Amino acid sequence: MNERVIRVLVAEDSPTVRHHLAGIINETPGLTVIGEARDGREVIELAQALQPDVISMDIRMPGIDGLEATRQIMTLCPMPIVVVSGLVDEDIDLAFRALQAGALAVVGKPTARSAPDFAARQRQLAHTLAAMAGVRVIRRWERPPGQNGADTGRLIPPAAPTAPAPEIIAIGASAGGPGALSILLAGLPTLPVPVVIVQHMPDEFMPGLARWLDKTTPLTVQIAADGDTLKPGTVYLSPGRAHLAVRRQGATLASALIHEQGIYRYQPAVDVLFQSVAAACGAAAVGVVLTGMGEDGADGLLAMRRAGARTFAQDRASCTVFGMPAAAIQRGAAEQVLPLKRLPGALLRLAK
């Protein structure tokens, strides 16, 4: 039986790096390069002509850069885009803006074949391209006004009036998450509780994500360290190579980093965070599942709901990828399903 071969369009202005990327992709079973673009204008033209399954997008190119190319492709012919970025601050900022414009994921540019981490970077690139090629990109701008999906605003009877005020807000996200988080956090001017977040992303990009999100909100955004006392008005992001959990530490809450992957497919795993919050805080918590592929977070959000916490899922229409919220909704874990733009208001009302 013939397996489907994923067709990749590579955009990269450096001939040396382009040749390197194409070689890595072509030697990976199940992937093949069908076109190479030297700049943003060329990748826009080839995307429309070749209709690849996924695009490997350089972010810094002459003329039209990767950010603008992503914007135009997501308007003209939406398709999965993976940003392949260098790690300098300027590139990382552009990469996150491309994610906000519709790209699904970001990975670091592969190192030289002689580098000790080459094999790991090669696997990361190949896995990300293959995974994102299977994502159905939702064309939100084509939806008629007022039609936000069948799940939008679906309500489950609210918790009892005697429910305790939340001590913490826990959020999980994957593909499309950085853009969703920027919108959500921008709508939270102040909060009397801490926010803890797991975002699936390579570890080397997490400091850049923290800096980028910190610009979008008056809240302080930082990478969680093991044993941090969780402070109100502060957002704690899990590092990319450890699970983030919440523990009770006397009268306060503290972060705990777990470096063993365990049974979880992802590290960090949203389920680990949510399950720890359910155990530490019970009903005094809020859980939110945002856009992402797969099912991570669904079981953990259900554990939170069973503990009495308030739980939310992002609706289909505002998601880049509806996998994680859909799984949570199907399990009955989400008390309420809301468009992204309505989530900040809902969280502010609960946290007062």
Using only C-alpha atoms, the chain has a radius of gyration, in whole angstroms, of 20
**Alpha carbon distance 31, 17 (integer Å):** 18
Strand-pairing partners, residue 277, are none
**Alpha carbon distance 247, 255 (integer Å):** 6
Single-letter amino acid code for the residue at 338: L
Q: Minimal CA–CA distance to 224: which of 208, 246, 205?
A: 246
What long-range pairs does 222-226 form, CB within 8 A, spacing at least 24?
224/196, 224/255, 224/257, 225/255, 225/257, 226/255, 226/256, 226/257
Q: Minimal CA–CA distance to 291: which of 140, 128, 95?
A: 140
As given in the structure block, the two tokens for residue 199 are 């975002």
Given the residues 13, 58, 151, 200, select the one marked as catalytic: 200
Beta strand 54-58 pairing with 169-173: unpaired
Where would I find the H helices in 289-342? 298-306, 323-330
Q: Could you give the 3-state DSSP secondary structure of residue 191?
A: coil
200 a catalytic residue? yes
214 a catalytic residue? no
Given the residues 53, 58, 296, 299, select the one marked as catalytic: 296
Q: Could you give the 3-state DSSP secondary structure of residue 206?
A: helix
**Alpha carbon distance 334, 302 (integer Å):** 7
Given the residues 56, 85, 174, 318, select the one marked as catalytic: 174
Lookup result for tokens 């859980």: 287
**Alpha carbon distance 19, 13 (integer Å):** 10
259 a catalytic residue? no
Residues known to be catalytic:
174, 200, 296
